[in-house]
Amino acid sequence: MKAVLLIGLGRFGQHVARKLNDLGQQVMAVDTDEGRVDAVLPFVTNAQIGDSTNRDFLTALDVPSFDACIVAIGDNFQNSLETTDLLKELGAKKVIARASRGVQEKFLLRSGADEVVYPEKQLAAWTAIRCTSDHILDYIELDEDFSIFELAIPREWAGRTILQLDLRKKYGLNVLGLRTGGTLDMRITPDTTLDEDHSVLILGRPKDVQKCLHL
């Protein structure tokens, strides 16, 4: 279990709070708006109303005691920058900041953010990839070259084994697992047979997945 300081409780911040709660993490949530703080109380360990650009306020939170600090401020970029900078000055172990534009990402990194998340950019990439084929159910980008795709089993794959498809040799794709009815099975062998009620997790380059699906 990790302790997370979450600053900024707009829509993005509230989604982060809910997910951290689902994952069983300890969360201290902070926002200047009392209504936003009240909205996340069921999903966090503790919450405070306060200004994260105020050094005294942040100091009182004992920033170094948190495993990670998430700056999810979306409506005031200046406050996001100041908060990121202050967190690092106060000894934050790890700062993850939200950007809504490319230029913001650069400034946040210069202000000390260890990582920057860019939800609009990431969602745009997911949407573009998802709409290229009816078979693509989900998509996670690992780096500039490789991603993990969840694919609905094409009709021509049904009844064939991993060895018979030979996706690694033909397309450079690695089969990681199969999902059936919400259950993920990672025990994949060359003799594993695919079925139309499966979806398959594949690791590879997007252009190779497109070739594989004949896009």
Q: Is CATH 3.40.50.720 correct for 3-117?
A: yes
Candidates 71, 65, 63, 58; CA nearest to 12 is 71
196: confidence class by pLDDT, cuts 50, 70, 90: confident
Q: What whole-number distance in Å separates Cα of residue 121 and Cα of residue 100? A: 8
pLDDT at 87: 96
For 57-109, the pLDDT digits (tens) are 999 999 999 999 999 998 899 999 999 999 999 999 999 999 887 778 889 88
Q: What whole-number distance in Å separates Cα of residue 105 and Cα of residue 62? A: 26
What count of other Cβ atoms lies within 10 Å of the Cβ of residue 98? 27
pLDDT at 106: 85
**Number of alpha carbons in the 13 Å side-chain half-sphere of residue 109:** 10
Candidates 210, 212, 208, 184; CA nearest to 198 is 184
Q: Is CATH 3.30.70.1450 correct for 123-212?
A: yes
pLDDT at 75: 80
Round the CA-based radius of gyration of the chain to a whole number and report it.
21
pTM for the full model?
A: 0.68
**Number of alpha carbons in the 13 Å side-chain half-sphere of residue 168:** 7
Q: What whole-number distance in Å separates Cα of residue 97 and Cα of residue 112? A: 10
Secondary structure of residue 182 in the 3-state scheme:
coil
pLDDT at 215: 43
7: confidence class by pLDDT, cuts 50, 70, 90: very high
Domain ranges of the chain: 3-117, 123-212
